Chain A
Amino acid sequence: MPLDELRLMKNINEPGLAGIEVYERLGGYQALRKALTEMEPEEVLHELEESGLRGRGGAGFSMGKKASFIPKGTMDKYLCCNADESEPGTFKDRLLMQKNPHRLIEGIVIGAIAAGANKAFIYIRGEYELQAEILDRAVAEAYERGYLGDRILDSEHSVSLVVHRGAGAYICGEETGLLDSLEGKRGNPRLKPPFPANQGLYQGPTLINNVETLCNVPLIVENGAEWFKSVGTEKSSGTKIVSVSGNVRRPGNYEIELGMRSGDIVYGLAGGPPEGRRVKCWFPGGSSAPVLLEEDLELAYDFETMAEAGSMLGSGSLIVVDDSVPIVSLALRLAEFYRHESCGKCTPCREGTNWTVKMLERIDHGEATPADLDVMADVQTNIIGNCLCVLGDSMAMPVGSMIEKFRDEFEAHIEEARRRNGGLPLAAHGGRADEAVGSPAA
């Protein structure tokens, strides 16, 4: 079902919404006022937890619970808004920051006060220049009006906010890589534990939330947890902005109620694949989610159903692939991306992504045998769960799912590419395919 009333995207096309006057005119910063005057930080926290709001950045962890992990005490505490939206297929945060930056700022201030944080940062990906400029202006306006800075709205709470631009590394969207980068270091993920809630930015307790998650905060404070939960499913409450891209007729951001039938998003909202094409597979949650098939479009689009289907809702980016796309090209493009973005710190990701790309290139060029598919599938298994952070898994899971679900096409591609290259069909070698590998090169 499309929503009766938009929530996050309400008024999103109102001219001048990025400016503070329009935002205030449409009721902006009332939630902050309410949180400061009518509620204790604990109540805000409680309301967030009650709402069931799950992180919209990919992991889907309860936002209220995460905030409640921040220890009490008088030390400097931090809130970092993760605006390093780098997952291929994801562009919802861009919309929110560009069109409605004050909603994010309001969410950050309320979130910081609830968690007891006094220093906040927005870590925005380097390519989002326009959005960073808009945010810079909005932050300046918010300071001017007393929504940021010392003694916000004459309360005892103080929150500072700095917009920090990344330098174009996917890995800095990983929360601990983000922290290292923000501290001025090479953006490499850190070992966990300690978790950022205990030892994050500058070793201080740190709450890290995605843009969309924080944008929900003012709405929850204003309308209450019950209102938030009134849509969505039991475990996936609220609405979600879905970035639909790929082979669809109307790609874009759509706000939906969680639990909506996936097919209704792809066909109903995004118009489905072009005339005469069929959905071959789709990524429900960005390029790092294992692919699902056409028949899976029947599934409800929410955190738990996607997980049950062996994939994930992730950042809520639905990439549709139609039958014009060869699966080998798709897998190769994907693997290339993750190889390029691997930080190089841990062995399985650094070496595994590189190996996978090389194998896929060989497959694509027709210099492979079906046995290579077994090796490649095994390499994906060896990556999954063995890495320092989830980047390695982000390649291994979708690539592994493609080999599993499109094995026939891979094999056909191998055979065809060999023939195209003038190679003999495999049978002509007179041997079993697996004898062609296992050369003791290493």
Chain B
Amino acid sequence: MPRPEQRFVTFEIDGREVSAPQGAMLVDAAKYGDVEIPVFCYEPKLGQPVGACRMCLVEIEGIPKLQTACSTAVKDGMVVITTSDQVKAAQNAVVEFLLINHPLDCPVCDKGGECPLQDISFGWGAGRSRYIEPKRHFKKPIELSPLVAIDRERCILCYRCVRFSQEVAEDYQLVFLERADHTYVGTHDGHPYVGPFSGNIVELCPVGALTSTAYRFRARPWDIEGSGSVCTLCPSQCNVELTVRDDKKVLRVLARDNVEVDDGWLCDKGRFGYQAFHAAERVLEPMIREGGGLRPVSWERAMAEAVNGLDRADEGTAAIVGGEATNEEGFLLQFLMREVLGSPHLDSRIGGPIDAETARLLARPDLTAAVSDIDHAGAVLVLGTELVDEAPILDLRVRKAVRRSGVPLVVATSRPSSLDPNADAVVRYAPGSEEALIGALIAELGGGPAEDPRPARPGRASMREAPELRKLRPDGDSGDLARLAGAEEDDLRAAAGLLRGAGPVVILWGERVSRGDRGRQAVAALLALTRVLDVNSGGGSGMIEIPTGSNGRGLREVGCLPNLKAGLVDADVAGHWAAQIAQNLGHDLSGLILFQADPLRTHPDRGAWERALDRATFVLAFADFLDESVSRFANVVFPAEAYPEKEGTVTHPDGRVQRVRQAIGRPGSVRAQTSLLLELITALSGAPFDLTPAQVTRLMTDTIPFYRGLTLDEIGGRGVRWQDRDAAGQLPQTPLPEIRLGTPPERPKGMLLGTAPSLWAGRETQHAASLRFLAPRQRAELSADDARKLGVAPGDEIEVSVNGTTVRARAALRSGVPAGAVFLIEGTSEDNATLLTNGAVRAVKVRRA
């Protein structure tokens, strides 16, 4: 469905002629004439208006009864009155009604001072009440969940939280119970309301009924200031407003609605993870290893040790760049590595190599979709990614497209996805079989089955008539490929049927598709698929790659890959990828920089990394926490900034360059990492590099051809997609190649191991007190059939092992898990799935412990 065109109509409001977009509800249309109509329940982000609070009643000429402005669309020539006696009487009445049962405890209410009910009572209420009866009472406050407290006496039953649960998060947990004045918000069964997005209801609540347990009673509105930034805890890069007290402490994280990025929602990790910034275990001093342990030292000492260590390792230095690094940090780090130390060995990817040419192809503006393209897509394909865990806000975005615009959704993942129930077609395949799967899909699409019942669309050549597309056909027919992928042909056919001729297709695919020893071929197949689906044809189609690191795209573009310098330009000398770095440490490589990275937790083949770190002569870590890699192996630790302390830019998976703004002062001895990197560059090169943060950004944008001319002012508070700027033409362009797909290999025999990320298996969960209850313990997802064969019941302790390495997990039977597959979570603090992974598809042994 194409983006709707906006037309304007003229109407009259309070005697003024105003022009407003056709179809806009009067509440919104009125704003075009600077008229504010008060609302409580109206929130367009939540879907259709419900007209429950009755606060927005207005007079419309020709209609005898007052109408709700939230649900009445503006029409040409409409005459609207919001100031008549009749309207005022209704407004006074509704305010009075709302307040009769609302406790007037504003002085001790968290919402006091930033409360819509307070504001509207002052603005539109009569200023007095005639209510002298006893008020309604509930037990209060009680836990709606460990994160959210509910005060039902304050609740004005506006429906917002319930609608969020029902129509946005679609977790269907929150409902209204009882009726009339006994109505209250709760869950069906009284269980806590826990879900990845539950915190949004706190922000939606127009009164102090829903409060965050982490923020309750921590500050009053006059104690705090809002500071805009971008959350870098995951690739969604939601725009946030940090609530800051005394320039020192982040007390709360609110959404800063950017329809191009986040639609105004946040996940609970982004919302509550801020507690980690102020956790007691945060590293605040530089440290060096002495006598086997790390101890705090002065900056001079730490810097001297670092310079010394790097100087000795010199071109034998490698670097692992964590996904949270900003573009500037990545840019300076790769400069330090390549230009100062002379080492090309740095990697910001977790899953192995990507060809330079492929990286440039993937960056092509015509192949990249914008986030808001999802809303209007002809079809959406989610391929090899679990959005709710990897980029949660995009999960909501896909749900919105399906629910509001009826966008057809195809989910192709090996592990069952939380989007399955919303999908029109679901394709399951064996873990690691993306190459065969995509090939099978191309064959299904490009083969143009003779029995295709759908008439060819006018103006669009059917696949049958497009001989050049035949070339893309992989060797082997779709049935063969489906077998190799372990997918059902019927599912593939259904998926192809939805994607064929659907209009602009948006593909959301996980970086993990490109992992492993067949990753290159899988991405080649993906590029072929984009041709079959005309994804490069513009008009709202395109791909969004969900990287593993929050700033995965930015780091790739600023040169944090061993084969690509800044600007996706071929490196003079290609360096080692992460796995090779691990192999070579202690051999050609002696030094290692861990830039906000913890490979023991995040990288495949934990065993290899453990040995590698042990062999390294010198490890410099930029770390905000003493993660395992740091605490066990770092020789020098530089305390790292949390994102509210940083100044810089990041690049969203859709190419939007966004600003991370410093909101609070750096705690303890923490210094800006960009200045630390500059100091290292200066010390090691002998040439002074003394640049302000803005100058670093300037240097970076000057270096990267397709970022050229981009200034911090231009990026502003909403960000800029670099593809939308003229400089985008500077991306070294190559035509889409003729891609001939080979035959994917047979899968290994036996139970195949799949690993999956978890929103909660990360450091924020561990270090933010409120989130700790969500930290997962390892669980192995199996199909019911396999469980029966293995004699495993749900909840059983089981052992998953490869070549004598074992991970213990609790068995979870999940419908939709393909037979012959077992899924473990990556990144748990114990029993991490990375113990068993090495990039290849692996067969594992599963047995009861």
Asked if A382 and B133 make an inter-chain contact with CB atoms under 8 angstroms apart, the answer reads no
**A191 in contact with B180 given A350-B157, A351-B101, A386-B94 (CB within 8 Å):** no
Residues 356-387 of A contacting B (Cβ, < 8 Å): 358-359, 362, 375, 378, 382-383, 385-387
A353 contacts partner chain B, Cβ-Cβ < 8 Å: yes
Q: How many Å lie between the Cα of A41 and that of B793 in the bound state? A: 61
Asked if A347 and B156 make an inter-chain contact with CB atoms under 8 angstroms apart, the answer reads yes
A346 contacts partner chain B, Cβ-Cβ < 8 Å: yes
Question: CB-nearest residue of chain B relative to A438?
Answer: B130
Asked if B131 and A350 make an inter-chain contact with CB atoms under 8 angstroms apart, the answer reads no
Asked if B128 and A346 make an inter-chain contact with CB atoms under 8 angstroms apart, the answer reads no
Question: CB-nearest residue of chain B relative to A355?
Answer: B100
Q: How many Å lie between the Cα of A352 and that of B130 in the bound state? A: 12
B683 contacts partner chain A, Cβ-Cβ < 8 Å: no
Q: How many Å lie between the Cα of A260 and that of B218 in the bound state? A: 71
**A355 in contact with B94 given A344-B183, A388-B52 (CB within 8 Å):** no
**A342 in contact with B129 given A347-B97, A348-B94, A351-B98 (CB within 8 Å):** no
Q: How many Å lie between the Cα of A352 and that of B175 in the bound state? A: 23
Asked if B181 and A346 make an inter-chain contact with CB atoms under 8 angstroms apart, the answer reads no
Q: How many Å lie between the Cα of A350 and that of B52 in the bound state? A: 10
A340 contacts partner chain B, Cβ-Cβ < 8 Å: yes
Cβ-neighbour of A186 out of B50, B54, B55, B176 (below 8 A): B176
A59 contacts partner chain B, Cβ-Cβ < 8 Å: no
Question: CB-nearest residue of chain A relative to B159?
Answer: A345
Min Cβ gap B410→A in Å is 24
Asked if B66 and A386 make an inter-chain contact with CB atoms under 8 angstroms apart, the answer reads yes
Question: CB-nearest residue of chain A relative to B135?
Answer: A442
A343 contacts partner chain B, Cβ-Cβ < 8 Å: yes
Q: How many Å lie between the Cα of A234 and that of B535 in the bound state? A: 66
Q: How many Å lie between the Cα of A387 and that of B52 in the bound state? A: 8
Q: How many Å lie between the Cα of A90 and that of B447 in the bound state? A: 67
Asked if A358 and B133 make an inter-chain contact with CB atoms under 8 angstroms apart, the answer reads yes
Asked if B99 and A442 make an inter-chain contact with CB atoms under 8 angstroms apart, the answer reads yes
Asked if B54 and A354 make an inter-chain contact with CB atoms under 8 angstroms apart, the answer reads no
**A344 in contact with B181 given A351-B98, A355-B100 (CB within 8 Å):** yes
Asked if B181 and A354 make an inter-chain contact with CB atoms under 8 angstroms apart, the answer reads yes
B49 contacts partner chain A, Cβ-Cβ < 8 Å: yes
A-facing mask of B60-92, CB < 8 A → 1, else 0? 000001101001000000000000000001100
**A344 in contact with B178 given A351-B98, A359-B133 (CB within 8 Å):** yes
Q: How many Å lie between the Cα of A373 and that of B289 in the bound state? A: 82
Asked if B49 and A344 make an inter-chain contact with CB atoms under 8 angstroms apart, the answer reads no
Cβ-neighbour of B97 out of A351, A359, A438, A440 (below 8 A): A351
Asked if B89 and A387 make an inter-chain contact with CB atoms under 8 angstroms apart, the answer reads no
Asked if B54 and A387 make an inter-chain contact with CB atoms under 8 angstroms apart, the answer reads yes
B-facing mask of A324-348, CB < 8 A → 1, else 0? 0000000000000001111111111
Asked if B132 and A386 make an inter-chain contact with CB atoms under 8 angstroms apart, the answer reads no
Q: How large is the interface on B (under 10, 10 to 19, 20 to 34, 35 or more residues)?
A: 35 or more
A437: chain B residues within 8 A (beta carbon):
130, 132
**A191 in contact with B71 given A346-B54, A358-B133 (CB within 8 Å):** yes
Asked if A341 and B180 make an inter-chain contact with CB atoms under 8 angstroms apart, the answer reads yes
Cβ-neighbour of A354 out of B94, B99, B180 (below 8 A): B180
A74 contacts partner chain B, Cβ-Cβ < 8 Å: no
Cβ-neighbour of A355 out of B65, B133, B157, B182 (below 8 A): B133
B136: chain A residues within 8 A (beta carbon):
354
Q: How many Å lie between the Cα of A437 and that of B178 in the bound state? A: 32
Residues 95-144 of B contacting A (Cβ, < 8 Å): 96-102, 104, 128-136
Q: How many Å lie between the Cα of A358 and that of B131 in the bound state? A: 10
Asked if A348 and B181 make an inter-chain contact with CB atoms under 8 angstroms apart, the answer reads no
Asked if A344 and B175 make an inter-chain contact with CB atoms under 8 angstroms apart, the answer reads no
Question: CB-nearest residue of chain A relative to B180?
Answer: A342
Asked if B94 and A347 make an inter-chain contact with CB atoms under 8 angstroms apart, the answer reads yes
Question: CB-nearest residue of chain B relative to A385?
Answer: B65
Asked if B180 and A350 make an inter-chain contact with CB atoms under 8 angstroms apart, the answer reads yes
Asked if A339 and B133 make an inter-chain contact with CB atoms under 8 angstroms apart, the answer reads no
**A440 in contact with B133 given A350-B181, A386-B93 (CB within 8 Å):** no
**A347 in contact with B53 given A386-B90, A441-B132 (CB within 8 Å):** yes
A13 contacts partner chain B, Cβ-Cβ < 8 Å: no
Q: How many Å lie between the Cα of A345 and that of B129 in the bound state? A: 22
Min Cβ gap A26→B in Å is 43
Q: How many Å lie between the Cα of A359 and that of B134 in the bound state? A: 10
A439 contacts partner chain B, Cβ-Cβ < 8 Å: yes
Min Cβ gap B612→A in Å is 58
Asked if A442 and B131 make an inter-chain contact with CB atoms under 8 angstroms apart, the answer reads yes
Min Cβ gap B37→A in Å is 15
Main SS at interface, chain B = loop
Asked if A385 and B66 make an inter-chain contact with CB atoms under 8 angstroms apart, the answer reads yes
A-facing mask of B170-203, CB < 8 A → 1, else 0? 0000011011111100000000000000000000
Q: How many Å lie between the Cα of A343 and that of B180 in the bound state? A: 5
A382: chain B residues within 8 A (beta carbon):
89-90, 93, 96-97
Q: How large is the interface on A (under 10, 10 to 19, 20 to 34, 35 or more residues)?
A: 35 or more
Min Cβ gap A429→B in Å is 16
B-facing mask of A415-442, CB < 8 A → 1, else 0? 0000000000000000000000111111
Asked if B90 and A344 make an inter-chain contact with CB atoms under 8 angstroms apart, the answer reads no
Asked if A347 and B98 make an inter-chain contact with CB atoms under 8 angstroms apart, the answer reads yes
Question: CB-nearest residue of chain A relative to B50?
Answer: A191
Q: How many Å lie between the Cα of A169 and that of B102 in the bound state? A: 26
Question: CB-nearest residue of chain A relative to B73?
Answer: A193
B547 contacts partner chain A, Cβ-Cβ < 8 Å: no
A169: chain B residues within 8 A (beta carbon):
179
Asked if A386 and B130 make an inter-chain contact with CB atoms under 8 angstroms apart, the answer reads no
Question: CB-nearest residue of chain A relative to B97?
Answer: A351
Question: CB-nearest residue of chain A relative to B94?
Answer: A347
Cβ-neighbour of A440 out of B48, B128, B159, B183 (below 8 A): B128
B57 contacts partner chain A, Cβ-Cβ < 8 Å: yes
Q: How many Å lie between the Cα of A353 and that of B179 in the bound state? A: 12
Q: How many Å lie between the Cα of A355 and that of B128 in the bound state? A: 16
Min Cβ gap A299→B in Å is 24
Asked if B157 and A344 make an inter-chain contact with CB atoms under 8 angstroms apart, the answer reads yes
Min Cβ gap A84→B in Å is 15
Q: How many Å lie between the Cα of A343 and that of B176 in the bound state? A: 10
B51 contacts partner chain A, Cβ-Cβ < 8 Å: yes
Q: How many Å lie between the Cα of A391 and that of B778 in the bound state? A: 53
Q: How many Å lie between the Cα of A388 and that of B52 in the bound state? A: 7
A362: chain B residues within 8 A (beta carbon):
133
Min Cβ gap B1→A in Å is 18
Q: How many Å lie between the Cα of A383 and that of B180 in the bound state? A: 14
Question: CB-nearest residue of chain A relative to B55?
Answer: A347
Cβ-neighbour of A347 out of B54, B176, B178, B182 (below 8 A): B54
Q: How many Å lie between the Cα of A343 and that of B157 in the bound state? A: 11
Q: How many Å lie between the Cα of A287 and that of B130 in the bound state? A: 27
Asked if A355 and B52 make an inter-chain contact with CB atoms under 8 angstroms apart, the answer reads no
Min Cβ gap B100→A in Å is 5
Question: CB-nearest residue of chain B relative to A387?
Answer: B54
Cβ-neighbour of A344 out of B50, B104, B131, B180 (below 8 A): B180
Q: How many Å lie between the Cα of A352 and that of B93 in the bound state? A: 10
Question: CB-nearest residue of chain A relative to B101?
Answer: A351
Which of B49, B97, B135 gathers most chain A CB within 10 Å?
B97
A358: chain B residues within 8 A (beta carbon):
133-134
Which of A350, A353, A387 gathers most chain B CB within 10 Å?
A350
A345: chain B residues within 8 A (beta carbon):
50, 52, 157, 159
B98: chain A residues within 8 A (beta carbon):
347, 351
B50: chain A residues within 8 A (beta carbon):
191, 345
Known: A438-B130, A440-B129. 7 other contacts (CB 8 A): A191-B49, A347-B53, A351-B98, A375-B130, A386-B90, A388-B52, A437-B132
Binding site for B on A (CB under 8 A): 169, 171, 186, 191, 339-348, 350-355, 358-359, 362, 375, 378, 382-383, 385-388, 437-442
List 16 interface pairs A-B (beta carbons < 8 Å), by A numbering. Answer: A342-B181, A343-B179, A344-B180, A346-B51, A348-B54, A348-B93, A348-B94, A350-B97, A350-B157, A378-B130, A383-B93, A386-B54, A388-B52, A438-B130, A440-B128, A442-B104
| Among all A-B residue pairs, the 9 with the closest Cβ atoms | A344-B183, A382-B93, A442-B129, A358-B133, A351-B97, A354-B181, A342-B180, A191-B51, A442-B131
